[in-house]
Amino acid sequence: MVSPSLPSSQATITVVVKLFAAYQEAYGQGELNLTIPVGSTVAQLGSRLIAEQPELERWRDVTRFGVNLDFSAGDRVLQDGDEVVFIPPVSGG
């Protein structure tokens, strides 16, 4: 599967990325403040995270996304100040 790349644009926005489970373990923190090109989608942001932390590739197809406290599709275009959540499956009890 070809990963979508972030749009190449000189204009940027900043988003807050909340990380859980495997994503939090891979980054060693629960939150990232990232600058991304205007027009970037949630899926493109996810591809960036996976490119930075390749061990997350196994979670690509099963991770759900949230934007501003609502579940979201991967094709949602992000806006400046959005809070994005990546939620891989979790187990335990």
% residues pLDDT > 70 (the chain):
87
Instruction: Calculate the dihedral angle through the C-alpha atoms of 81, 2, 54, 57, rounding to the nearest 10 degrees.
Output: 90
- Across the range 45-60, mean pLDDT stands at 96
pLDDT digit string, tens, across residues 2-42: 445 555 558 999 999 999 999 999 999 999 999 999 999 99
Q: In this structure, is residue 65 part of a structural domain?
A: yes
- Across the range 56-69, mean pLDDT stands at 95
Q: In this structure, is residue 1 part of a structural domain?
A: no
Q: In this structure, is residue 45 part of a structural domain?
A: yes
Q: In this structure, is residue 92 part of a structural domain?
A: no
Count structural domains, the chain: 1
* pLDDT confidence of residue 50: 97
For position 56, which CATH number holds? 3.10.20.30
Q: In this structure, is residue 6 part of a structural domain?
A: no
| CB of 85 closer than 8 Å to CB of 70 | no
- Please say if the pLDDT value at position 73 is more than 90: yes
Domain extent at residue 60: 12-87
Q: In this structure, is residue 5 part of a structural domain?
A: no
User: Pairing relation of β-strands 64-67 and 70-72?
Assistant: antiparallel
Q: In this structure, is residue 20 part of a structural domain?
A: yes
* pLDDT confidence of residue 41: 98
Q: In this structure, is residue 83 part of a structural domain?
A: yes
